[in-house]
Structure 1
């Protein structure tokens, strides 16, 4: 009996010791297990499908980097105002979107982390479109890596072209104007044009390359507006003449629509110059529409278009720069970029990814890729709002014939430079 009791006690002690040992091992493991680093990524709201796609790419990143957790924040209103306020208050996210238009100001404020020291040869910087990287360079340093882009291209209605006896897209602006006259139709014979040849979007973002076609510039080396030069006016005059005298083009307000894509999709215009974002919109909203794309017609024997791009940038005050770089390098690396741009909502900024996805051979998307080398980056100095708002207000006035073009542009330039001087 005593022996059995002794054996029982020995077994109980052994079990207790084993339990204590296991507990200590568990405590040790818990104590030494690395706590994931939390970093924040901020961007603006976009298409729900794009949002879903980005969240999936971020999940893939976390799987490959188990020591990092990414909190993705959508700033749906007044994005840049929010970011600037947080940067001043040292509460900005670790990584955030930065549009090329806003980049010159932020790059000059010493609030962004230069990325040159993080970029290794394996990252293959040369794979990026040079024109896009240059939009995020300041004082010979790189402050952002572009995540996607779009140039502008000509969209044209194939049925309307066939009906007008046109067999190919226009390659020069003179041809576009000639085509526009042929494409304008009055189906009801009531003197009202039912379909205009071309849809004009008067904002500076769509007119800047015309200013550059004759050697004009948006801003000078000091950041002051200079778009009212004689060279700049030559390009803009083409738009005014077509709208006022030839009456073969229309604005969205003339035909009761909200965008260039919409007036084209509804058949109110047979041609429009739009970005890559119009392709999925037109396919989804107007599935019966037969359309094609082509490079923007040349002006003054020069090819021209605009390029719009957005980069991932790092907050200089980030407490987790190593992890922030890992996120940026994944999202803009070959694997992450392929996942992000595979649906065609956005175009990849890496040449190898564009080729792998076949966009350089895609009939609808290849004109956008062709334009990136000669495109004018959408930037207008450190104070772009002053430039844009002044131009847009006065150019519409000139387009409507309320004042001569030269007078309108001189007023816009003076107005913009007065605002810039006050902000310096």
Structure 2
């Protein structure tokens, strides 16, 4: 656990001198992934950094995502922010607006010069002509499926379009023993009042080329593309299990593992558990696109590191810079992405992506030790490479919810955390409200948040 340092206010420039090489510095970073293998990956990277930089100590504190936003804002108010904080596309702007972070243009530029950022990973973190966070990993929605289920239904490849997705979902919803009960549903999607429903619907929005905001930052949610996406989501939901209305992350993953359904729009299930259970019946494909779409994208999520005002005031900025630049070294990025959660996280730089796509494999730090053949070309590697390569390719044409045009509106976090989108989905899927009326209601609610 870490000793927290102070932080308040917002700066738009950094002018700190280089840190003397013999100066001892102790840094604190908040990250939000509590599972053992994710914490292990972070600890491994921190240990490697400290071996190269013995004068810098990095203390990691795990703050659960559910608590991260409130704790961050409270820490800004009380001048107890850590030196660095891991944020998402939808959470960093609150710290910016509250004056708790400093711009990191020099860090972004140094990493970009050496390793080349993938453009889509940077767009969420700009305001006032500056970068306010450094992306360290990305997640892209794709379509998970069980090859055996598709094969049994006569399909030789995964669906590529929305109409094919619906066709597959219908055919894959089956009563295998003829007892009148569905034994396998075609699709796993939810309408729960939480981030899972919002994130899943966001994947359909991106596929339809639409977003919350217009390019000028005004609310642009109420449009034909959003209506079409919600209509299709409603049609698709009839092939999901009835209990899916209350699913969150844990329930959808456990039902996927239990083979309750054959396909799901998702970023990646817990591949480690699949391999440990010797279950290799899993694959993914790029997210399907609307039929005849002129514009279609993928939905992404990015995590980034901010540097707090307190870190700058305490003379820790250069030490933070060293640590963040270290995170983007391709071999280190491999640990913080592939080793943190195999098939889930991908690098944010071209150099990191090239290493992941190569024959390179860090057996020492790879978390899956049982039922995984690390040799290139093995069935295990083919499954992992499938997940990684689909995500890497998708990331080139992806954007995070609210960030199609970059950070054009800094109320993304407030709109996202208000569950307006999941409430809208419930109005249609659970109470039968007209789709256009539901979209119009959501737009009105978003404007209320935006006008506060």
Measured in 2, the distance between the counterparts of 1:125 and 1:251 equals: 50
Matching of residue 369 in structure 1 with residue 362 in structure 2: no
Q: Which residue of 2 aligns with 1:25?
A: none
Offset of 1:397 from its aligned partner?
A: 2.5
Q: Which of 267, 288, 307 is the equivalent residue of 2:279?
A: 288
Residue from 107, 112, 116 that aligns with 2:101 = 112
In structure 2, distance between residues paired with 1:392 and 1:339: 34
CA distance in 1, matches of 2:282, 2:36: 25
Q: 1:255 to 1:127 in 2, by over 3 A?
A: same
User: How far off is 1:288 after superposition?
Assistant: 2.6
Query: Relative to structure 1, is the Cα distance of residues 104 and 172 closer, same or farther in structure 2, using a 3 angstrom cutoff?
Result: same
Determine helix, strand or coil for the equivalent of 1:72: strand
Q: Tell me by how many angstroms 1:192 deviates.
A: 2.7
| Structure 2 partner of 1:341 | 337
- For 1:65, the equivalent position in structure 2 comes to 53
Bigger drift between 287-296 and 58-67 goes to 287-296
Match of 2:160 among 165, 171, 175: 171
Q: 2:410 aligns to what?
A: 382
> Which residue of the partner structure matches residue 40 of structure 2?
52
Cα 1:267–1:88 shift into 2, 3 Å: same
Q: Give the Cα–Cα distance (whole angstroms) in 1 for the partners of residues 345 and 224 of structure 2.
A: 36
Question: Would you say 1:38 and 2:66 are equivalent positions?
Answer: no
How far residue 336 of structure 1 moved from its aligned partner, in angstroms, is 2.6
Who wins on radius of gyration, i.e. which is larger?
1
- 1:122 and 1:199 map into 2 onto residues whose CA distance is 39
- The number of residues matched between the two structures is 386
Structure 2 runs not aligned, ≥5 long: 1-20, 192-196, 360-381, 404-408
Q: 1:240 aligns with which of 231, 234, 239?
A: 234
The corresponding residue for 1:86 is 75
Alignment of 1:226-265 (within 5 A): 226-243=220-237, 247-250=238-241, 253=244, 258-265=250-257
| Structure 1 residues 220-277: Cα deviation after superposition (integer angstroms, max 9, x where no partner) | 457554323233101211111233xxx3234653698843333222111111111135
Distance 1:93 1:193, change over 3 A: same
Gaps of at least 5 residues in structure 1 are: 1-32
Change (3 A) 1:334 1:401: same
Q: CA RMSD in A?
A: 2.7
Q: After the TM superposition, which of the residue ranges 311-320 and 396-405 deviates more from structure 2?
A: 396-405
After TM superposition, give the deviation of residue 128 of structure 1 in Å.
Answer: 1.7
CA contact (8 A) 2:189 2:244 kept: no
What pairs up with 1:263-302 in 2 under 5 angstroms? 263-284=255-276, 287-300=278-291, 301=293, 302=295
TM-score, structure 2 normalization: 0.78
1:395 and 2:425 matched: yes
Normalising by structure 1, we get a TM-score of: 0.82
Q: What is the alpha-carbon distance in structure 2 between the residues aligned to residue 145 and residue 251 of structure 1?
A: 41
2:379 alignment partner in structure 1:
none
- Partners of 2:63 and 2:83 in 1: CA distance: 14
Kindly state the Cα deviation for residue 163 of structure 1 after the two structures are TM-superposed.
Answer: 1.2
Structure 2 distance, partners of 1:159, 1:122, is 43
